[in-house]
Chains A and B, each alone.
Chain A
């Protein structure tokens, strides 16, 4: 039987290798997803939120830093790139519906994107948050890499933006069903597109778990709002922050 000292040195060795972060990420997600499935894919049992909670708990209990965890988890993180490219596939399948409703989609996108940016900044300011927090929150409906780049340009905190982006995604994925049912919005394409605009990839992931049309339009909403947030924020952000915080 190995000595305690040996066990802990094995742990020290493993936790320093990228293998640990990768294994932990996959195991936490597998457990979270099986709970999600067992609860009948209820939006309340969001698998991203559950997996993150498990990982944060384990890292805290073992005193492992986020940096050493991420050295392994970055291999999963890397796949976000090819997965974003792959969103073109379901979208190309829906091209007829897309053409038919082009005007509606563009109008909804513009209204939704502006609402996201203006409301994020205003609400932070109204509830006493400082300028860096407001700037970091501004692009939170856009997909992670775009939001982080935008926050960086305006002296926000990109790491904080990443967390706000993911929280926005999780909250949208959890709440959308109840909100849309309350508003009596039943068209899957509309539900999907709005979820993609407000909650980027996590909303899109949730939409794909509901059905393919909803997923395709969520992917479209995510992609387009990513682009539009990058365009609108430089124009809207200085005006709104100047109004709340002075120039």
Chain B
């Protein structure tokens, strides 16, 4: 677990360093994610060693947004009188974004999986999609 956490932090540091050195508008952790993605494809052994810890961290990803979200306490006054604009942008903007992205993907998606063994997996996936979101 400590090894895996160290790996995540090392890749974050690498990402931060690259972002800073090249003055990229993309934050370090996102670059770190892309670097780790490549590393995991190259080394299945690394995948074995980081997977459990990484998934444990991701299983409570929602928790990590709570501190910044509570910042609404400090910023609520800045939108006074413009709640309608904020609400319209939030609700309509998000619905539009979800709809456009999903419809374009559906139009171009190559659904059938090549390997015959995948039929069972595809069925269970579509079954879970009915209840899932």
User: Which residues does A use to contact B, with CB under 8 Å?
Assistant: 21, 25-26, 28-29, 33, 43, 47-48, 51-52, 55-56, 59-60, 65-67, 69-70, 73-74, 76-77, 79-92, 95, 100-101, 103-105, 107-109, 111-112, 115-116, 119-120, 123-130, 133, 137, 140-141, 143-146, 149-150, 153, 157, 159-160, 162-164, 166-172, 175-181, 183, 185-191, 193-195, 197-199, 201-202, 204-208, 210-211, 213-215, 219, 221, 223, 226-227, 230-231, 234
* Interface class of chain B by DSSP: helix
Q: Are A123 and B93 in contact (CB under 8 A)?
A: yes
Q: Are B25 and A230 in touch, CB under 8 angstroms? A: yes
The answer to whether B82 touches A128, judged by C-beta atoms less than 8 angstroms apart, is yes
Q: Which of B36, B71, B125 contacts A88 (CB under 8 A)? A: B36
Q: Which residues of A contact B82 (CB under 8 A)?
A: 124, 127-130, 133
In the bound complex, what is the Cα–Cα distance between A177 and B72 (angstroms)? 26
Task: Report B-chain residues with C-beta under 8 Å of the C-beta of A86.
Answer: 8, 33, 36, 50, 53-55, 57-58
- B residues 78-133 near A (Cβ < 8 Å) are 78-79, 82, 84-86, 88-111, 125-126, 128-130, 132-133
Bound complex: CA A108 to CA B106 (Å): 9
Shortest 5 CB-CB contacts between residues of A and residues of B: A177-B133, A129-B85, A112-B101, A104-B108, A73-B67
Nearest chain B residue, comparing its CB with the CB of A172? B94
Partner of A82, one of B9, B69, B110: B9
CA distance A16 to B94 in the complex (A): 38
Does B1 interact with chain A (Cβ within 8 Å)? Answer: no
Contact A100 B110 (CB under 8 A): yes
> Closest residue of chain B to A65, judged by CB?
B74
A181 to B: closest C-beta gap in Å: 8
Q: How far is the CA of A134 from the CA of B8 in the complex (A)?
A: 35
Question: Do A188 and B132 have beta carbons less than 8 Å apart?
Answer: yes
CB-based contact A48/B97 at 8 Å = no
- Asked if A48 and B62 sit within 8 Å, CB to CB, the answer is yes
Q: Which residues of B contact A128 (CB under 8 A)?
A: 82, 84-85
A sample of 9 cross-chain residue pairs with beta-carbon separation below 8 angstroms, ordered by A number, consists of A85-B29, A85-B33, A108-B101, A108-B102, A112-B98, A116-B97, A133-B86, A163-B71, A187-B105
In the complex, which of the residues A51, A76, A124 contacts B89, with contact meaning CB atoms closer than 8 Å? A124
For B60, list chain A residues within 8 Å (CB): 29, 205
With A47-B62, A119-B96, A208-B59 already in contact, the answer to whether A160 and B75 are too (CB < 8 A) is yes
Chain B residues in 8 Å Cβ range of A204: 61
**B64 touches which of A79, A124, A206, A210 (Cβ 8 Å):** A79
* B102 contacts A81, C-beta separation under 8 Å: no
Assuming the A-B contacts A76-B66, A82-B5, A82-B57, are A230 and B105 also in contact, with contact meaning beta carbons closer than 8 angstroms in the complex?
no
- Contact partner, A175, options B51, B94, B104, B107, Cβ 8 Å: B94
Q: Which residue of A lies closest to B28 (CB)?
A: A81
Q: Are B58 and A208 in contact (CB under 8 A)?
A: yes
Q: How far is the CB of B79 from chain A (nearest CB, A)?
A: 7
Q: Which of A56, A66, A92, A126 has the most CB of B within 10 A?
A: A92
B63 at the interface (CB under 8 A from A): yes
**Contact (A25, B67) CB under 8 Å given A157-B78, A187-B109:** yes
Structural contact, A194 and B70, CB atoms closer than 8 A: no
Whether B75 contacts A157 by the Cβ 8 Å rule is: yes
Known: A82-B9, A159-B71, A226-B27. Contact between A108 and B108, CB under 8 A?
yes
User: Does B66 lie within 8 Å of A215, measured CB to CB?
Assistant: no
